[in-house]
Amino acid sequence: MQMQYDYLKVPASEFVGSIDTIVEVISQVTSILSEFADFSGDSRLQDAVSDCLDLLDVSSDELSWSAYASQNPNESMQMQYDYLKVPASEFVGSIDTIVEVISQVTSILSEFADFSGDSRLQDAVSDCLDLLDVSSDELSWSAYASQNPNGTYI
């Protein structure tokens, strides 16, 4: 039986498939970025790439937890919230940073080699976010709540 969640526009299995696509693209982007991390000799770029790789790793983990929550409807509602909505909002927050760093790396790499940008990650994330039925206010609250578990949202 397919469980339909109120925060998904599609069946959970379709959302999980979209998450799997993003995780695969993250893996590919991570592989490409890690090859060039020390290439430029620019310490700021190396730090940015390192930070980006860390964000990609954390994002991949968060998305894996989201997939788990979507596939296990018998878990508590709090667990579903903790492992789906909160990680999704954190991923949304970090994706802008990731895309910015990838753009900077792409720009620098294009000076050294015939390397053109790849929009697969951004496209996959956009496709996945389209499957969520969550307003930006809810995502903002989720991000705030995940960082301030004992605070109140104003």
**Does residue 152 belong to any structural domain of this protein?**
no
**Does residue 92 belong to any structural domain of this protein?**
yes
Whose structure tokens read 């949304």? 92
**Does residue 114 belong to any structural domain of this protein?**
yes
**What integer is the mean pLDDT of 39-49?**
68
Q: What is the pLDDT of residue 143?
A: 45
**Does residue 33 belong to any structural domain of this protein?**
yes
**Does residue 120 belong to any structural domain of this protein?**
yes
Three-class SS state of 3 = coil
Number of domains in the chain: 1
End-to-end CA distance of the chain: 39
More confident residue, 17 or 95: 17
Q: What is the pLDDT of residue 149?
A: 47
**Does residue 1 belong to any structural domain of this protein?**
no
**Does residue 111 belong to any structural domain of this protein?**
yes
Domain that holds residue 132: 12-147
Q: What is the pLDDT of residues 89-134, one digit of tens each?
A: 556 566 666 666 666 665 655 554 444 455 665 666 666 666 655 4
Q: What is the pTM assigned to this prediction?
A: 0.48
Q: What is the pLDDT of residue 136?
A: 44
DSSP string, 83-112: IIIHHHHHHHHHHHHHHHHHHHHHHHHHHH
Give CA separation, 53 vs 20, 62, 128, in Å: 18, 14, 21
**Does residue 131 belong to any structural domain of this protein?**
yes
Half-sphere exposure of 123 (CA within 13 A, CB side): 7
